[in-house]
Amino acid sequence: MSDLLPTSPLISPVIKAGEPSLIQSTCAYCGVGCGVDIGVAGGKATSLTGSAAHPSNYGRLCVKGSNLLNTIDLTGRLLAPEIAGEQVSWDKATDYVAEQFNDIIQKHGKDSVAFYVSGQLLTEDYYLANKLMKGYIGSGNIDTNSRLCMSSAVSAYKRAFGEDVVPCTYQDLEQTELLLLTGSNAAWTHPVLYQRIERAKKINPAMKVVVIDPRKTATCELADNFIQLKPGTDGAFFNGLLQFLSENQGLDTDYIAQYTEGFELALATAASWTTAKVAEFCQVSIEELTTVYQLFCRSKKAITFYSMGINQSSSGVDKCQSIINCHLASGKIGTIGNGPFSITGQPNAMGGREVGGLANQLAAHMDIDNPIHLDKVQRFWQSPTIANKQGAKAIDLFDKLASGDIKAVWIMATNPLVSLPNRDKITAALKQCELVVVSDCVEKNDTLAFADVKLPATPWLEKNGTVTNSERRISRQRNAVLPAGQAKHDWQIIQDVATKMGFSGFDFNEVSDVFKEHAQLTQFENNGERLLDLSGLSQLTTKEYNELAPIQWPVNESYPEGCARVYADGKFTTPSSKAQFIPVAPQLPIQRTSTKYPFVLNSGRLRDQWHTMTRTGKTHKLSAHTDKPYLYLHPKDAQGLAVQNNDMLMITASTGQAIAHVKVDEKQRLGECFMPIHWNQSYASHGNVSDLYQSSVDPLSGQAESKQGAVALRKKAYKQYISVHTTSSLSLSADFWVKSTTAYGDTYQVALEESTADALLWCQQTTGLSGEWLTFSEEDKFYIVCLQAGKLVFLSYFSTNWPEIEPAWLEHVFAEEKLAFATIQSLLLGIASDEFNQGKQVCSCYNVGEKTIKIAITQGCSSVDALGEKLKCGTKCGSCKPELANLISQHKASPIELVTELATG
């Protein structure tokens, strides 16, 4: 295994004013925290590659990371502060925010204001936001979108280990014997880690991978075993494992006796969860369960890798605990290749946890309910006050906005209208709130529509600070270009407002000073009580900070170079130094199906989009893989609803409605459907999944149950369906629409309840374009193009079904400077030439479509490598490799059938 370990020393280039230069930074997206090398010339970023020496990725990047530079153009950026829609100076904007906050606090008390922040902030931004709210305003009302993401994992680690500490590293994933991935679609959501796992498994074929998920995801391509369990039943699965361990000599009794407490009760509670009972409860076979339980029992090393399918649950803390219980009971923790590994989603969810950005934390892993900690933090800050009780967690915070208990909110780097459950409730809360301040980088998103004050923040590439990844590794996110327009760094905006509110603890000259103060607080009177100790970084000079190489905490006298392995000595951060077992009584989801809402609604991520699409939605490179929010549905359910691929479904929940295209998908369980989280009102009229979830939360963590909703499905038909392709923006009024970015502009799928009387007029009014308009009609179909000086600028097809057009062909014709007569003819007939008949894009890096890949498979490419050799697909970022493998397994067996399919359709 030694060739998996890092050998090359890490470069830590200095940011130089001169040019051209190479700046080492960190990817803007997921919690893997990949290093990126950015080439800069003439004040602009000109190239981007994975940092070869960064210990998260060793040079690899996934498709989102490799496309970072395609998302940085200034279109749609918020570049100046605004009050009530009018541009104002920074001075005026920060005066106004400070005055309004002070005024509301004076009239209604400190708990009448709140911050709702985000794991996309850097640690320094986060630290100051927390300091201002808890130490100066004196309220606990600061919470973060990480509440929706990993607050259950935090609560469980805290309860079990005494501190929120992730006890594993990425190398453990490569050095384990058994990897259980549960509630994680890592192939799409943590792709570089997935590729590291894939490589480790290639090198060590004895390594086993088990995937536990109600859906058969792309991640299953690596799985030796797949447990397709009933949603929400993981607590029973892991209770069953605990019981199995006790019956099959799987316990490490020495470890239990020496290093843990509470085992007897935890086991007694799990005792009734026999394999047979678990099989029935989770709706999987006894054989499948036994195989996986035996694997865990027999493997000396095992990692459970868990993410949103576990955390986003009304009993998420207990589910995390049921996993931790199994690792403690078998002593599979604190050593190489072992441990319960919660994988974080956002780039800096971990940094937020370190500074105390959640309403139930204080700062630097100190507790808001502990008077000694309160005293410590207040003395360190020398602050006028300190919040002495927990603040409102995300869902409560918005409830309090709605009830008027909280009158002002400052939202930073998150889009709650799209991401919090029950969108109607969030809308009502923001409408009713006296003052909504939003710091964001974009001009428009669903939440900004409710902002009284908009503050332009610097995004990735312009901002500068640190982030912590899923394995406790702090990396620098370095600025490579100057802030655009009047944008300011989030920490500076907070500093300006705090100072104008009259507070003195915010006079930092540089971002490195903020980091140092945070590091000093982790050190302050720590005395070994908290593992989070950055004392080794607390005296960094600005130069050292700028050159800081990635490092895993703790960083202190004992571990000056950082520390990969924690809890190796079996000593935990609890008062007794022992890890805590907690008995778990498995609960089913709060949102239940009924005759009215008979389908379980699952939600999550797609490979190429990031959250609410404010960045990834901007580039055609990331939009081509999936251009609309499908509802994925089992073939039998589709049959029952009399729908086929691309038909429309009305999705109704007790909270609201959405409308989506159908994708028939045998990878779903019967009676369950899946919808991606990304689409919102900036991209679709009815595509936001948050309309469909109730705000049911875990009682301990407050994390929302965002994976198991209950919905009714009904076929939805329109009179007219229009496929629109345009180089300029539209003023669209339609009953249904969804938009996607293309190489030439935008494409829209539009549907109308009543057919438009005059299709040409509709196009002309919607576009406002003048040019040469050409039309062709055939029964109830209309084909309309608009040319300007012979160049195609607009194209639309009207039909009574969704018109299908080959995207690769459109890209080609829109790029032509002057269209040939024959091309115009084929456009008006809607018939693409065969060479463009590629099908849905699979490889975003080399733009290789599904049909091309299927043909190569039938011609004998029987491995992902062979496809790569022939078509290049999968050879750059590798994110599509699981899909390529899936296509091979689907199509290599039946070449004759496939050829017929291609010939007929």
Residues 145 and 612: their CA atoms lie apart, in Å, by: 13
Residue with the shortest CB distance to ligand SF4: 65
Q: Which stretch binds Mo ion (CB under 5 A): 146-154, 574-582, 670-678, 776-784?
A: 146-154
Q: Check: CB of residue 807 under 8 Å from CB of residue 743.
A: no
Which does residue 217 touch among ligand SF4, ligand MGD, Mo ion, none (CB within 5 to 8 A, set by kind)?
ligand MGD
Q: Does 345 bind Mo ion (CB under 5 A)?
A: yes
Q: How far is CA 444 from the centre of its chain?
A: 20
Q: In 3D, which of 787, 804, 784, 807 has the Cα closest to residue 796?
A: 784
Binding test (CB under 6 A) with ligand MGD, winner from 208, 332, 376, 611: 611
Residue 516: enclosing H or E segment and its boundaries? Answer: helix 511-523
Residue whose token pair is 């009215």: 596
Quote the least distance from Cβ 586 to ligand MGD, whole Å. Answer: 11
Q: Check: CB of residue 456 under 8 Å from CB of residue 79.
A: yes
Which does residue 213 touch among ligand SF4, Mo ion, ligand MGD, none (CB within 5 to 8 A, set by kind)?
ligand MGD
Binding test (CB under 6 A) with ligand MGD, winner from 160, 251, 336, 412: 412
Quote the least distance from Cβ 696 to ligand SF4, whole Å. Answer: 29
Residue with the shortest CB distance to ligand MGD: 345
Q: How far is CA 92 from the centre of its chain?
A: 35
Mark 736-755 with x for binding to ligand MGD (rule: CB under 6 A) and - for no binding.
Answer: --------------------
Q: Which stretch binds ligand MGD (CB under 6 A): 229-237, 255-263, 771-779, 844-852?
A: 229-237
Q: Does 604 bind ligand MGD (CB under 6 A)?
A: yes
Q: Judged by CB, which is closer to ligand SF4: 27, or 266? A: 27
Q: Does 550 bind ligand SF4 (CB under 6 A)?
A: no
Q: Position 522: which residue type?
A: T
Q: Check: CB of residue 655 under 8 Å from CB of residue 395.
A: no
Binding test (CB under 6 A) with ligand SF4, winner from 53, 62, 366, 566: 62
Quote the least distance from Cβ 28 to ligand SF4, whole Å. Answer: 7
Close Cβ partners of 471 (under 8 Å, ≥ 6 residues apart): 56, 166, 168, 169, 170, 552, 564
Work out whether the CA dihedral 115, 121, 123, 125 comes out positive or negative. negative
Q: Check: CB of residue 826 under 8 Å from CB of residue 816.
A: no
Q: How many residues interact with ligand MGD (rule CB under 6 A)?
A: 60
Binding test (CB under 6 A) with ligand MGD, winner from 185, 338, 477, 727: 185
Q: Judged by CB, which is closer to Mo ion: 228, or 703? A: 703
Torsion angle, CA of 550/335/168/125, rounded to 10 degrees? -50
Residues 269 and 239: their CA atoms lie apart, in Å, by: 8
Which does residue 607 touch among Mo ion, ligand MGD, ligand SF4, none (CB within 5 to 8 A, set by kind)?
ligand MGD
Q: Judged by CB, which is closer to ligand SF4: 34, or 38? A: 34
Q: Does 32 bind ligand SF4 (CB under 6 A)?
A: yes
For residue 5, the tally of other CB atoms under 10 A from its CB is 10
Residue 453: enclosing H or E segment and its boundaries? Answer: strand 453-456
How many angstroms separate the Cα of 737 from the Cα of each of 176, 356, 622, 649, 723? 47, 41, 19, 14, 10
Quote the least distance from Cβ 792 to ligand SF4, whole Å. Answer: 34
Contact set for Mo ion, span 596-635 (CB under 5 A): none
Q: Does 218 bind ligand SF4 (CB under 6 A)?
A: no
Contact set for ligand MGD, span 346-385 (CB under 6 A): 346
Contact set for ligand MGD, span 656-695 (CB under 6 A): 677, 689-690, 693
Mark 836-875 with x for binding to Mo ion (rule: CB under 5 A) and - for no binding.
Answer: ----------------------------------------
Contact set for ligand MGD, span 449-468 (CB under 6 A): 457, 459, 463
Q: Which stretch binds ligand MGD (CB under 6 A): 144-152, 168-176, 249-257, 731-739?
A: 144-152
For residue 520, the tally of other CB atoms under 10 A from its CB is 16
Residues 112 and 405: their CA atoms lie apart, in Å, by: 6
Q: Does 30 bind ligand SF4 (CB under 6 A)?
A: yes
Burial of 481 (0-12, 13-18, 19+ CB in 10 A): middle
Q: Which stretch binds ligand SF4 (CB under 6 A): 184-192, 455-463, 523-531, 709-717?
A: 184-192
Residues 409 and 420: their CA atoms lie apart, in Å, by: 15
Quote the least distance from Cβ 682 to ligand MGD, whole Å. Answer: 10
Which does residue 156 touch among Mo ion, ligand SF4, ligand MGD, none (CB within 5 to 8 A, set by kind)?
none
Q: Which stretch binds ligand SF4 (CB under 6 A): 27-35, 399-407, 658-666, 667-675?
A: 27-35
Binding test (CB under 6 A) with ligand SF4, winner from 40, 55, 58, 64: 64
Which does residue 439 touch among ligand SF4, ligand MGD, Mo ion, none (CB within 5 to 8 A, set by kind)?
ligand MGD
Quote the least distance from Cβ 169 to ligand MGD, whole Å. Answer: 19
Binding test (CB under 5 A) with Mo ion, winner from 149, 358, 484, 566: 149
Q: Which stretch binds Mo ion (CB under 5 A): 344-352, 532-540, 588-596, 599-607?
A: 344-352
Angle at 605 between CA 884 and CA 46, to 5 degrees: 75
Residues 782 and 760: their CA atoms lie apart, in Å, by: 9
Buried b vs exposed e over 163-191: b needs ≥16 C-beta within 10 Å? bbbbbbbbbbbbbbbbbbbbbbbbbbbbb
Contact set for ligand MGD, span 108-137 (CB under 6 A): 118, 120
Per DSSP, what are the bridge partners of residue 751? 721, 736
Q: Does 188 bind ligand SF4 (CB under 6 A)?
A: no
Burial of 527 (0-12, 13-18, 19+ CB in 10 A): exposed
**Alpha helices (H) along 737-859:** 759-767, 807-815, 821-829, 850-858
Q: Which two structure tokens, joined as six digits, stand for 118? A: 């985000």
Q: Judged by CB, which is closer to Mo ion: 72, or 149? A: 149
Binding test (CB under 6 A) with ligand SF4, winner from 23, 34, 734, 808: 34
Quote the least distance from Cβ 668 to Mo ion, whole Å. Answer: 22
Checking phi first, is residue 472 left (phi over 0); if not, alpha (psi -120 to 50) or beta? left
Q: Does 696 bind ligand MGD (CB under 6 A)?
A: no
Q: Which stretch binds ligand SF4 (CB under 6 A): 6-14, 23-31, 766-774, 847-855?
A: 23-31
Residue 412: enclosing H or E segment and its boundaries? Answer: strand 408-412
Using alpha carbons only, how large is the chain's radius of gyration in Å? 27
Helix axes 234-247, 263-270, angle to 10 degrees: 110
Q: Check: CB of residue 591 under 8 Å from CB of residue 693.
A: yes
Residue 901: enclosing H or E segment and its boundaries? Answer: helix 895-904
Which does residue 140 touch among Mo ion, ligand MGD, ligand SF4, none (CB within 5 to 8 A, set by kind)?
none
Q: Does 416 bind Mo ion (CB under 5 A)?
A: no
Residues 747 and 414: their CA atoms lie apart, in Å, by: 26
Q: Check: CB of residue 879 under 8 Å from CB of residue 844.
A: yes
Residues 2 and 809: their CA atoms lie apart, in Å, by: 48
Binding test (CB under 6 A) with ligand SF4, winner from 27, 97, 795, 848: 27
For residue 440, the tally of other CB atoms under 10 A from its CB is 25
Q: Judged by CB, which is closer to ligand SF4: 68, or 601? A: 68
Interface residues with ligand MGD (CB under 6 A)?
30, 64, 118, 120, 145, 148-149, 182-186, 188-189, 212-215, 217, 231-232, 234, 307-309, 312, 345-346, 412-416, 418-419, 439-442, 445, 457, 459, 463, 490, 602-605, 607, 609-612, 614, 677, 689-690, 693, 706-707
Interface residues with Mo ion (CB under 5 A)?
149, 345
Interface residues with ligand SF4 (CB under 6 A)?
27, 29-30, 32-34, 57, 61-62, 64-65, 190-192
